Amino acid sequence: MKLHEFNEQQAKQALARAQIALLPLGAVEPHGDHLPLDTDNLLAERFCALLEQQLGEAAISLPAVPYSQVWSLRGHAGAIDIGHDLLVQLLVALARNMASYGIATTAVINAHYGNFDAIKAAARMLKEEGITLLSYSWAGIDACVSQLRTSAVAYPGYMHADEIETSLMLALAPEYVDMAQARAHYPRFPANFRYRPVRWTEFSDYAVLGDPRCASQEKGQAFVQQALEATLASIRLHLAEGGGDDRSASHQY
């Protein structure tokens, strides 16, 4: 159920039934020439829609947050960075807003790895208030990726416009992918990259890390299915344990 598509009466009824809010979180940043700047937003929204279908009335989806922390890619054409602090404040405000309707859990469906620190900071702040912020970023796909990946990893722990992310786009938003423009790019990372802050513009003029030419829709569908199963299992466990519902909260309709 998408909250923003309801009229007032429908929203009132949906909010009364929902146990968890789903918040798609992406970014606006370059992903090479074969993917759009909107890649992370598209992935978050479309994966969130799959979760919504499975969870039914227990979940209510919020509009996607398209702007986020894009420090690493600041300077690359099209990157929009609102910074860490503002993103933390936004996540906290949105979760508090949903808690005011009695929905004590918001699950962030995150498709931009640069958001991890802000999500964690917001979750810790909210925990002190009895509000839960869950976070999912392609949960459970590591084994599947290890099995299906055929390209070399550009840098351990990083996934950007490569075989994996391009496969996800081919599965969830294929109409936005131009494989004719896909090309491999393996920049030379600074020797001390893992231990100090370095913007990508300092060592690369192209926002691809790996070889997207190895991507396929079939791989993407496998990744999506694994992530869907893992995310649903976690959310259902949380709800079964009593998380997500606080109908003692004042409903601000």
Q: What's the predicted TM-score (pTM) here?
A: 0.94
Q: For the chain, what is the HEC assignment?
A: CEHHHCCHHHHHHHHHHCCEEEEEECCECCECCCECCCHHHHHHHHHHHHHHHHHHHHEEECCCECCECCCCCECECCCEECCHHHHHHHHHHHHHHHHCCCECEEEEEECCHHHHHHHHHHHHHHHCCCCEEEEECCCCCHHHHHHHCCCCCCCCCCCECCHHHHHHHHHHCHHHCCHHHCCCECCCCCCCHHHCCCCHHHCCCCCCEECHHHCCHHHHHHHHHHHHHHHHHHHHHHHHCCCCECCCCCCCC
Per-residue pLDDT of 156-185, as tens digits, reads 999 999 999 999 999 999 999 999 999 999
Q: What is the mean pLDDT of the chain?
A: 95
Which pLDDT score, from 0 to 100, does residue 251 have?
37
Please say if the pLDDT value at position 21 is more than 90.
yes
Per-residue pLDDT of 36-69, as tens digits, reads 999 999 999 999 999 999 999 999 999 999 999 9
